[in-house]
Amino acid sequence: MPDISIIVPIYNAEKYIKICLDSLINQTKKELEFILINDGSTDNTEKIIKKYKDPRIKYYKNKNQGIGKTRNFGIEKSTGKYIMFLDSDDSLEKNACELLFNEVLERKIDLLVFGFSKCSNITKTEEKLPSFSSTSLKKDPSLITSINLSPWNKIYKTSLIKNNNIRFIEDLKYEDVPFVIMALDKAQNISKLDKCLYNYVIHGNSETTIRDERVFDILRIIDIIRIYFQDKDYIQEELKKLIVRMITNYTIQQRYQEDMKTGIKFINEAFSYLAKYIPDYKNNKYYKDRGIAKRTIEKNRILTIIYCQLYRLLH
């Protein structure tokens, strides 16, 4: 049994896949398996992958199903004691797996969060982790708002994921947030490693700069999270903060929307969602650190629409 299964969903990654795979096969730790899932690529991705002869590679080629189903497929195929996720345009530091496995094994950790670097063509910026010691979500509910909710800068005990049937949402965008939150909720021992071991690559056409009609999926994702926690009193205040933050981020990001009619429709639905489920959202603690101008706009539906329209006119 390998110590760590690293799951890599791949779609049309010919520009980046070599850097990704090189970072895997050159890990200082050797007791690994690499689960590479080609999600219906139409470029030269497969040709590049097949040049690698490392016996630790388990390669699967599927029809295009989307990242949620692809990651779930990888979980089912994994045989390691721990699971990690790596996106095909990103990479790991050479000693990442060795450091992470030693940490989780020595301290009997279910879920370990570790640092990452944001990489562009010209810069590499380290992202610091919040301050917390070994804990659980019940002891420290602020974890859902203080750490990033992406699956890739974390290592999970396989039994945590499989025994609790934690899987990615399929057929919706933003599918990774419920997965991470449910893993945090079920983990008995959550900890962190203050080392930047994951290189997250930012592209010009990333999700931070493009929006389309699938933005409505975020409301369905938020609903899944809200319903999951509805009977857990200990987390309600932080949950409200998370929901307000997520919705506010996406209403303001409608300045990038391809079709402003879609953007306005989303803003209207998002504010209706807040009014229905968090009637006092304007007093939410998320806004306290936003600055007067930002929070004045972000709390108000009409001002948000005007801001997004002005932004589009000026850019």
pLDDT digits (tens, 9 = 90+) for 108-122: 999 999 999 999 888
Looking at the DSSP assignment, which residues form a beta bridge with residue 62? 39
pLDDT single digits (tens) 216-231: 999 999 999 999 999 9
Q: Tokens for 23?
A: 């970072």
How far is C-alpha 302 from the geometric centre of its chain's CA atoms?
30
Q: Which of 310, 220, 202 is nearest to 273 (CA)?
A: 220
**Rounded alpha-carbon distances, angstroms, from residue 266 to 89, 111, 304, 310:** 30, 35, 11, 17
Q: Identify the pLDDT of residue 19.
A: 97
Q: Nearest-CA neighbor of 192 among 109, 105, 85?
A: 109
Phi, psi of 288 (to 5 degrees): -60, -35
Distance (Å, rounded) from C-alpha 78 to C-alpha 250? 34
pLDDT per residue as tens digits for the range 270-314: 999 999 999 999 999 999 989 999 999 999 999 999 999 999 999
Q: What is the pLDDT of residue 289?
A: 87
Please provide the DSSP assignment of 188-216 as one string: S-EEEEEEEEEEEEP-TTSTTT-B-GGGG
pLDDT 10s per residue in the chain (315 long)? 999 999 999 999 999 999 999 999 999 999 999 999 999 999 999 999 999 999 999 999 999 999 999 999 999 999 999 999 999 999 999 999 999 999 999 999 999 999 999 998 888 899 888 888 899 999 999 999 999 999 999 999 999 999 999 999 999 999 999 999 999 999 999 999 999 999 999 986 544 456 788 999 999 999 999 999 999 999 999 999 999 999 999 999 999 998 999 999 999 999 999 999 999 999 999 999 899 999 999 999 999 999 999 999 998
Q: What is the pLDDT of residue 300?
A: 98
CA distances from 262 to 25, 174, 224 (A): 44, 18, 23
Q: What is the pLDDT of residue 268?
A: 98
Distance CA 58, CA 312 (A): 46
In the block, residue with structure tokens 């857990």: 232
Cα dist from 156 to 70, 213, 236, whole Å: 18, 33, 25
User: Is residue 84 helix, strand or coil?
Assistant: strand
Give Cα 210 to chain centroid, integer Å. Answer: 17
Q: CB–CB of 267/301 below 8 Å?
A: yes
What is the per-residue pLDDT across 137-148, written as a single tens digit (0 to 9) for each?
Answer: 999 999 999 999
Q: Which residue has the tokens 């947030």?
A: 177
Element (H, E) at 217: helix 217-228
